Amino acid sequence: MHSTMAGWGNGLLGVLIFSGSLPATRVAVGEFNPLFLTSARAVIAALLGMALLLLLRQTRPARTDLGSLAIVAIGVVIGFPLLTALALQHITAAHSVVFIGLLPLSTALFGVLRGSERPRPAFWVFSVAGSLLVAGFALTKGSSASLTGDVLMVAAIILCGLGYAEGAALSRRMGGWQVISWALILSLPVTAGFALWSLPAVWTGIDASAWIGFGYVSTFSMLIGFVFWYRGLAIGGIAGVGQLQLLQPFFGLLLASLLLSEPITWPMIAVTVLVVGCVSGAKRFA
């Protein structure tokens, strides 16, 4: 029971941190090239992770773990950040919520395939219901759609779910922050090369908000959030704790309300209560 609660607590902290990722990316991509933003954020996080590994004298991963680390790198270091950055050039951050609502399902499915988890049938009922609630709520907001942006977001969700599940399974024997740190380091030759190739021609005139967004996704979204998220998935269960992602869009809207003075409506509160019920049900049957 204690480990389960610790898993859900760590997972919730991770979700809270990730809630600011899409809004921060949306702001940053207005000033920075998506390729540069994706690669540079990974380089910064890799250097921070490397410093932690050296400072705490962590051993190198086993050769047999390199394949799993490569999957994590492809899924969450390169794939999801790049595809969402490209997608957000075609769709709004609000519209992307439709697809973020499908991420818990993607994570749970890969948890079954890669993490050998077997949730009970009732779990899938709550998971699908929660995903439909989030997606339906986002669609009622009337945000703009784009076929290109939608396809990119679907691909991003598939890769992200795979990266989450693979990293969580690996975290059970390596530790959460070690997994994301080694995945970042493994991808460093690629991300550093793309960062240098896509350097902005002019650095002057970049808005302060873009720098803040860039700093947030480089440290919190790319490294710190994973410390809590992978630990939560590893000790609390990939499929169950993954359902906490259903709350991420509403945390994001709450942040928008606090930081941008956007209104919180009664429908948003009602859907949030229903989603919390779905998360609770999924937790019980995971």
Q: Is the pLDDT of residue 277 over 80?
A: no
Instruction: Report residue 117 as tokens.
Output: 């988890």
| Predicted local distance difference test score (pLDDT) of residue 21 | 80
Confidence band of 196 (pLDDT split at 50, 70, 90): very high
| Predicted local distance difference test score (pLDDT) of residue 115 | 63
Mean pLDDT of 254-272: 66
Which of 22 and 71 is assigned the larger pLDDT?
Answer: 71
Closest by alpha carbon to 246, among 146, 102, 114?
102
What is the number of residues in the chain? 286
Q: Is the pLDDT of residue 130 over 70?
A: yes
| Predicted local distance difference test score (pLDDT) of residue 42 | 93
Q: Is the pLDDT of residue 262 over 60?
A: no
How do the domains of the chain map onto residue ranges? 2-285
Q: Is the pLDDT of residue 71 over 70?
A: yes
| Predicted local distance difference test score (pLDDT) of residue 240 | 79
Backbone angles phi and psi of 210, in degrees to 5: -65, -40
Confidence band of 70 (pLDDT split at 50, 70, 90): very high
Q: Is the pLDDT of residue 5 over 60?
A: yes
pTM of the full predicted structure? Answer: 0.82
Distance CA 275, CA 270 (A): 9
Q: Is the pLDDT of residue 40 over 90?
A: yes
For the chain, the first-to-last Cα distance in angstroms comes to 14
What's the pLDDT tens digit per position in 144-187?
Answer: 567 788 788 889 988 998 998 898 888 888 888 899 999 999 99
Asked if 96 and 252 count as a contact pair (C-beta separation under 8 A), the reply is no
